[in-house]
Structure 1
């Protein structure tokens, strides 16, 4: 008998890569999404239900129909430059609370409720490798909403096996070009003569979306033994690359060189030089899960 997992955000960048990995692991995937295309949501290989996170009645009905053994909650307003600050709080905090409320009414509770937070909660004032006990210092509404979501979710721990993840930067095929690496890749693929970027000499932790998805699934699989419940885990590559290095790698793999212009409007004030994930806690919990070096990720994206 298949294990049922309820996935929110299935149509998003991460969700699309999670579904085939979940199925390969024997999970029957059910998605809950607010959108509906001609009465049928187009999410291959998943059972699809329509319910908005802000519609607690519809969400309750969907959860009761699925009766999931596990939950992966990825749905969120995730782009920091999103136009409405209110949306961050409505969807990321209130919407998540509606989901937890609905799950708490199940007669048989899921074995794991994994909630995607963000390394953005650490802000831009800590240098070097950041562990989960780093003091949060969110610097925008998105990050504040994710930290608020974490605190709210802990209120449900007596009732639900909540696990929190804080992914650092990750990328891959299908990510929107409004994000940094897809923007560089798109410029290289289209053989653009030039590109405008921000500070080229900051070092950041970049993961492959397939590795992030693998980490999430490993946590689902380890949840029944109780060793991950109630904990928060950084998810990252544990390595850093400067933006300048990323550009050089893209140009070397693609064979296309372009002029790189630093636009002062893209440069953040007082930006720390190096940020990377300390993933010791996650490695101790699930073992090694990373299998895609940055060059492999960039080739995958360039070949598209």
Structure 2
């Protein structure tokens, strides 16, 4: 089976690409074209992985390039998107083009090329602040940021193609994934990189919101489960740990694991507009368990600690830490 992964150069995409190559799949990696000939995080992959890859440099916003990339593929794992919430306040137009139009390009090409399956990547942010917990797939959708609104639009486009044209689409909805290679715009790398750089006064935004953090290995396994199970077509499936923890408590856990005492300083620039902040996320993952047989290996508080330890170990390696700008707020 030949698999195209869009967004293969990103945090989740690179881990997923590597794992599928290890499992023996024929993988084509769609990376964002740039003049540096960079493959993003795939540049750091082992040579044994890179030599097995077919790399296609393009732009998800270009329908012709997307269709060309998809030719000859059986399955498309669509991860390419803009995901930074603060940047979506700054440049919402780019989120519509990339997330909605980019998804439309994949779906239209899949329909024309008779692709066997498209796995479209959603996000827990589409739920907004929990109206009830744990959050199942029937929870109302709330666009509390331009980012989440664009992902709701992309999700609905995917569902519409399934219902209108029987395009074989499955929607995976990961909750807050963390782990090695994650951007410093995310809270866990922000905390780790500041501490690893010698800071003891840590700048953060709001501390009270809760999240359901999902370790990268569990998210990758979730993608593979959705891809390989025929029952996932036409379905929306949460991938989450079913463990809720606040940002403040997360910071304390990280400091404890790293063996330091920290003081948290609220940085106003990191605080979302009041009505835009998602106050609470907590995943109901029972559908993934029942339909796919998937469940997190890093679930609960102890699993979260194990995932944090592996993440900290990666970030505190000087070769990795040097890639990050701990002194700069990354939107």
TM-score normalised to structure 1 length: 0.90
Contact 2:82 2:95 (C-alpha < 8 Å) held by counterparts = yes
Deviation at 1:38, TM superposition (A): 5.6
Distance 1:58 1:303 in 2: 38
Deviations 1:121-141 (A, max 9, x none): 111252431111111111111
Partner of 1:281: 287
Matched, 1:110 2:115: yes
Check 1:252–1:135 CA distance in 2 against 1; reply closer, same or farther (3 A cut).
same
Distance 1:193 1:173 in 2: 22
Contact 1:127 1:273 (C-alpha < 8 Å) held by counterparts = no
Contact 1:127 1:275 (C-alpha < 8 Å) held by counterparts = no
Deviation at 1:168, TM superposition (A): 1.3
Matched, 1:90 2:97: yes
Distance 2:34 2:268 in 1: 41
Matched residue pairs, number?
Answer: 295
Matched, 1:124 2:129: yes
Specify every segment of 5 or more residues in structure 1 that has no aligned partner in the other structure, as ranges.
none
TM-score normalised to structure 2 length: 0.83
Q: 2:63 aligns with which of 56, 59, 66?
A: 56
Deviation at 1:264, TM superposition (A): 4.9
Alignment of 1:182-201 (within 5 A): 182-201=189-208
- More helix per residue: 2
Alignment of 1:249-268 (within 5 A): 249-264=253-268, 266-268=270-272
Check 1:261–1:113 CA distance in 2 against 1; reply closer, same or farther (3 A cut).
same
Distance 2:86 2:269 in 1: 14
Distance 2:54 2:191 in 1: 35
Check 1:26–1:76 CA distance in 2 against 1; reply closer, same or farther (3 A cut).
same
Deviations 1:78-130 (A, max 9, x none): 11112310011111111111111112222xx3332100011111112524311
Contact 2:30 2:55 (C-alpha < 8 Å) held by counterparts = yes
Contact 1:126 1:272 (C-alpha < 8 Å) held by counterparts = no
Q: 2:249 aligns with which of 213, 233, 245?
A: 245
Check 1:281–1:35 CA distance in 2 against 1; reply closer, same or farther (3 A cut).
same
Partner of 2:85: 80
Matched, 1:9 2:7: yes
Contact 2:214 2:240 (C-alpha < 8 Å) held by counterparts = yes
Contact 1:127 1:274 (C-alpha < 8 Å) held by counterparts = no
Specify every segment of 5 or more residues in structure 2 that has no aligned partner in the other structure, as ranges.
43-49, 315-331
Matched, 1:213 2:220: yes
Contact 2:2 2:75 (C-alpha < 8 Å) held by counterparts = yes
Q: 1:170 aligns with which of 165, 168, 177?
A: 177
